Amino acid sequence: MSTPGAKPITDEEGPLFRLLRHVDVAPHASQREISSAIGVSLGRLNAQLRAAAEAGFITISERSGPDRRQRFAYSLTSRGAAEKARLTDRFLARKFLEYQALHAELTGTASGYVPSTNRTRFMQNNLAPIPELFVSYDSAQKLKVEAGELTSHDLTPRQICDLELLMNGGFYPLKGFLGEEDYDGVVDNMRMADGTLWPMPITLDVKEDFADKIEIGQDIALRDQEGVILATMTVTDKWAPNKSKEAEKVFGADDDAHPAVNYLHNHAGKIYLGGPVTGIQQPVHYDFRARRDTPNELRAYFRKLGWRKVVAFQTRNPLHRAHQELTFRAARESQANLLIHPVVGMTKPGDVDHFTRVRCYEAVLDKYPASTTSMSLLPLAMRMAGPREAVWHGLIRKNFGVTHFIVGRDHAGPGKNSAGEDFYGPYDAQELFKAHEEEMGIEMVPFKHMVYVEERAQYEPADEIADKDSVNILNISGTELRRRLQEGLEIPEWFSFPEVVAELRRTKPPRSKQGFTVFFTGFSGSGKSTIANALMTKLMEMGGRPVTLLDGDIVRKNLSSELGFSKEHRDLNIRRIGYVASEITKNGGIAICAPIAPYAATRRAVREDIEQFGAFIEVHVATTIEECERRDRKGLYKLAREGKIKEFTGISDPYDVPANPELRVETEGTDVDNCAHQVILKLESMGLIAGH
């Protein structure tokens, strides 16, 4: 009996499968106990143990003790754990086919289950456990020791989110980071090589110098940013992807205005590694631990409460009254219990931080009926991929035991592209989800745009208001909400809960009390440092917030003295400046930066780092290269012309002129005081300093 993608276990594989499984669950068993458990003679067992050790599946070590029959201990290697997982899949596939045949023999009809090529629907019951990639506790302790000798990769925050959901089953049926064949299928048509529906490339991107040290078949250790080993991975694939194609296919456009495309081109490593993952331990979270559940923990919770139907609400924003009414209606229409399932991994740059959002959720949770509502946090790194993201979110929620999923208007849309148009149509996500709904095994509940009808003092779906011409319809957009928060204006109770507004005001005080960064950029000698010093003096004269000047020369002396002037080192220098500025901004101070910062991609990365905490004001000091060279107070241009300074901006290295800075100042024919005053006026117009 066979099926595409699931070969039956051969006579040779059956004993190996039993051996690996037993070693995993009972590493301290004696040879006699193992031989009895897997049904082979002691002689045959010894041959199997030697073969498994030679293949790198197990390690055999001596142990002391009076019982000679227990003088050896056996433990799975990371490769053995991966082989056990592979054989488990084959075993389950064979048993599934046997069940199908038995069902047909007994009833004369098919079972109704989806064929095994579509592995996303193996788990028809939302309450049954799903496979995880973790080994047993004892094996994990041994693997930690073994993995300490392996080449290590330090995961990025996004990769940690991906690995956590791979290991705990949130990304089931994935067994690890995608190999090249699966990656190509996912990019081209949202399907892996065996036909399984999966819309998002889950890849381990690494730098070229690291990839050069890795051989196919090699095991590597995956560590968090503090060096803790979370998993091992057997590298089966290594390739340089076509990132422009990935951007076009997955995100709909190769446009750096899309945050995921920007990440792809400007942050991700150039080489992808693929291969199965063996989970050792989950990433450690110190925040909101009681709110974090794995798929199997949520399924067990639903099972305990008898929740057969569960509708999930995906959110990366605080909950307001319109959201509450929407979720009430969705649960009522679906006749389901409600799971509020916010993302606390990585969202869109500029979003409210997850600490504030979770406090907002907890503040309003008691406004929901406790017997029918629960909340759990999802450690997902969003890609903001619109339609594909909606399908991805649906598959993930299916793994968490959810039966219904609310899909919003422009679900997971990143906003405007470089031409000022929306990346996706308002209902593209709902249409793609609907097209795959049956195959996914989770039902879509369309998001309704809720507005407040003043005369009836209630929220209603905008498209269901028959008398809309004779009633007063109220709504506050996200942009308007941010403006009211920034300016300390009233936020009416019909729009949000007082508890939510209080939390938001704690995190986002009026702009005149927030930290911010003024980032000057321009050629060497353009006047950046001079204007920055004048601005610093004016701001210190006003008082109210500490002011720090991060001038290019000062930073080079005190923070980056070991760096040269290659592109890589200049980028690193600017990123260091951005990091310090982000910390100053986060803590309510004013950072003034005045480096050359020639590359647009690096300036954008610094902007994203800082805008998490406050405003970023890019000031282009637009002095021409001819004027800068005429001034040449330091004699640098002369040395650059003579070839004594390599890679000099404007002479032998390019300068990306800012396309849309907050302010552009001309210094030729304008005195320094006037230039600094222009910046002050800009800060006043943005509400960052009080007007005079």
Query: 40 phi and psi, to 5 degrees?
Result: -130, 165
- The verdict on residue 465 lying in a domain is no
pLDDT band at 478 (very low <50, low <70, confident <90, very high): confident
For residues 261 and 299, membership in a common domain is answered with no
Burial class (CB in 10 A: 0-12, 13-18, 19+), 168: buried
Rounded to whole angstroms, the Cα distance separating 272 from 205 reads: 4
Given 452, 469, 489, which residue is the final one in a domain? Answer: 452
Pair (246, 295) in one structural domain: no
Instruction: Report if residue 477 sits inside a domain.
Output: no
Task: Determine the structural domain holding residue 351 and report its residue range.
Answer: 289-452
Question: 674 and 555 in one domain?
Answer: yes
Counted residue by residue, the chain has a size of 692
- Ligand-binding annotation for 75, yes or no, is no
Domain assignment of residue 490, yes or no: no
> Around Cβ 134, how many Cβ atoms within 10 Å?
20
Separate counts of helices (H) and strands (E) for the chain: 24, 22
In terms of domains, do 275 and 303 share one?
no
136 in a known ligand binding site:
no
CATH at 162: 3.10.400.10
- 348: CATH: 3.40.50.620
Residue 335 pairs in a beta bridge with: none
pLDDT tens per residue, range 660-672: 999 999 888 888 8
The verdict on 259 and 187 lying in the same domain is yes
Q: Are 305 and 437 in a shared domain? A: yes
- Angle between helix axes 600-611 and 259-266 (nearest 10 degrees) is 130
pLDDT band at 11 (very low <50, low <70, confident <90, very high): very low
The residue-averaged pLDDT of 242-253 equals: 96
User: In this structure, are 629 and 540 located in the same domain?
Assistant: yes
Do 635 and 551 form a contact (C-beta atoms < 8 A)? no
On whether both 203 and 246 belong to a single domain, the answer is yes
Instruction: Give catalytic residues, as residue numbers.
Output: 315-317
**Together in a domain, 264 and 329:** no
| Tens-digit pLDDT profile for residues 156-203 | 999 999 999 999 999 999 999 999 999 999 999 999 998 999 999 999
Q: Which DSSP helix (H) or strand (E) runs through 456?
A: none
Closest CA to 574 of 249, 266, 274, 122: 266
Phi/psi for 357 (5° steps) reads -65, -45
Q: Is 525 annotated as a binding residue?
A: yes
Is beta strand 237-239 parallel, antiparallel or unpaired with respect to 271-279? antiparallel
Both 335 and 416 in one domain: the answer is yes
Q: Does 177 belong to an annotated binding site?
A: no
Residue 112 is predicted with a pLDDT of: 56
Q: Give the separation between CA 672 and CA 136, rounded to whole angstroms.
A: 68
> Has residue 125 been placed in a domain?
no
At residue 105, the pLDDT reads: 78
- Across the chain, mean pLDDT equals 87
Q: What is the mean pLDDT of residues 486-503?
A: 88
- Residue, of 385 and 511, whose pLDDT is higher: 385
75 and 159 belong to one structural domain: no
The tens digit of pLDDT for each residue in 194-242 reads 899 999 999 999 999 999 999 999 999 999 988 999 999 999 999 999 9
- Name the phi and psi angles at 521, rounded to 5: -140, 145
Q: pLDDT band for 116, please (50, 70, 90 cuts).
A: very low
Binned at pLDDT 50, 70 and 90, residue 349 comes out as confident
Is 528 annotated in some ligand binding site? Answer: yes
Number of domains in the chain: 4
Q: Is 399 a residue whose pLDDT tops 90?
A: yes
Residues of the chain with pLDDT > 70, as a percent, come to 94
Q: Which of 231, 118, 122, 85 is nearest to 167 (CA)?
A: 231
Over residues 430-454, the pLDDT tens digits come to 999 999 998 999 999 988 788 899 8
Which residue bears the tokens 């190996």?
A: 16
